[in-house]
Structure 1
């Protein structure tokens, strides 16, 4: 099956979203203006290729079986959070000095949500104390080494390995992917993570449960909840967010998360995303 169609994408910057460092997944495979990735649609492996032109996404899908186009559209609307009222968010920022100017650096940036929840969990663990370049390469290596292989007209793509696959590897094998000391955390968490249902929990319950897993501290837990489960009150705090929040606000490090949830409410996750992007692009602290 091969089909093509368009999706409306107003106030959306595909490239900025792909390369914003969100820990849901690595950027999709780029070829010119096109981005391609293996998605599982209706339990069928499907190669989805997209290109942005103005306020539209041009979408091509290739699959060995017939796939409902409505489900492809729903999946893409979810992954790129295209139903989010981003103009309402911009109105919030414009009415909230000193954050009223940060949108100028990041207009069109949206959440890049998980296509595979387990991949997001492992990506977030792998990202701890690690550059964007290194953790995205490690995740791609894990897919190539232990994922399921699918061949399409545009090439070979790999799924992310299942939890039991990673759980049964030893630490030395996992380090081959480039995860370093995080190997033991990945292996141990892979053994336990399928037993929980984070999607049906409220934010606080899910956050405190995640902290019990190896390799998951407050920042990683919030990354998982924001990019994996779209819990928008999540506010991942790393060294760059600490610096940028100190730049704009007078708040103790220990209370940053609580402050953000109280001040920004349902926009907390998006504020964090835009603050991180501002820190990267403005150059006020050097590179991220």
Structure 2
């Protein structure tokens, strides 16, 4: 177990931030996370967090995943003091981190997320993981399922995926998996692209529109200028930023500002 004291870090808020759908609250301050083929349990009390993993796993995987080396106070302090709405959103969302998640997992996750609610998204993801992912056991003996590989989902038919409760999104995932498995689109090349190029390349995939591409850029590729606009964000923009969001001021950090706003609008 690794115990660390962290500022501006909240497992509770990360779990509810809409970035990841395989993180679960097990009890007061107790959480589990499945990311790719990794399993982790965590406990938090105030600023002290216990990560139930080895030091090697913590340093090589989870530090990067939770973006622990980034100074989020710098983001918070960059807000325009005259922007009362953003100030309130930052205060409410203090503790959120922009996670560095697997690109393939985020492509599938946000294809599933379209016109969907969090409860159903979680259920759909768990269903495809159980059907197409590798069954594994954590060091503590907890059984879980890794996220399905590109190859595994490329072998699934659209009808089979519909049977997982995916509805019309089944076609998007079936076609996208085959497109990537065949080499028509390279995930490795997307990892090396800058934000505008990565977004453009992602939008070549079946079912990936601008909003989904923005989510993937932010939550997988960690392009902090990505700014996903869904119904919640659009309503906030219409009310509080009629002249548009001040993109120039927040260049390089628009994504974290979007997350603070999203969380605040959802839970305030």
TM-score, normalised with respect to structure 1: 0.83
Query: Does the alignment pair 1:5 with 2:2?
Result: yes
- Are the counterparts in 1 of residues 15 and 24 from structure 2 also a CA contact under 8 Å? no
Q: Distance in 1 between matches of 2:16 and 2:45?
A: 18
Counterpart secondary structure, 1:83: coil
Aligned to 2:124: 138
Report the Cα offset of residue 29 of structure 1.
3.8
Q: Which has the higher contact order (CA 8 A, sep 6+)?
A: 2
1:129-278 aligned within 5 A: 129-152=115-138, 153-193=140-180, 195-196=185-186, 197-251=189-243, 261-278=247-264
Report the Cα offset of residue 243 of structure 1.
0.5
Using a 3 Å threshold, how does the CA distance of structure 1 residues 94 and 12 change in structure 2: closer, same or farther? farther
Q: Distance in 1 between matches of 2:167 and 2:211?
A: 19
Query: Does the alignment pair 1:36 with 2:32?
Result: yes
Q: Could you tell me which of 52, 57, 67 is aligned with 2:49?
A: 57
Q: Structure 1: state its 5+ residue gaps.
A: 62-66, 283-288
Using a 3 Å threshold, how does the CA distance of structure 1 residues 123 and 38 change in structure 2: closer, same or farther? closer
- Are the counterparts in 2 of residues 94 and 101 from structure 1 also a CA contact under 8 Å? no
Q: Structure 2: state its 5+ residue gaps.
A: none
Using a 3 Å threshold, how does the CA distance of structure 1 residues 154 and 15 change in structure 2: closer, same or farther? farther
Q: Distance in 1 between matches of 2:256 and 2:214?
A: 12
- Are the counterparts in 2 of residues 235 and 260 from structure 1 also a CA contact under 8 Å? no
Q: Distance in 2 between matches of 1:242 and 1:71?
A: 39
TM-score, normalised with respect to structure 2: 0.89
Aligned residues: 260
Q: Could you tell me which of 45, 69, 74 is aligned with 1:88?
A: 74
Using a 3 Å threshold, how does the CA distance of structure 1 residues 206 and 158 change in structure 2: closer, same or farther? same
Report the Cα offset of residue 207 of structure 1.
0.8
RMSD: 2.0
- Are the counterparts in 1 of residues 90 and 257 from structure 2 also a CA contact under 8 Å? no
Using a 3 Å threshold, how does the CA distance of structure 1 residues 46 and 135 change in structure 2: closer, same or farther? closer
- Are the counterparts in 2 of residues 8 and 56 from structure 1 also a CA contact under 8 Å? yes
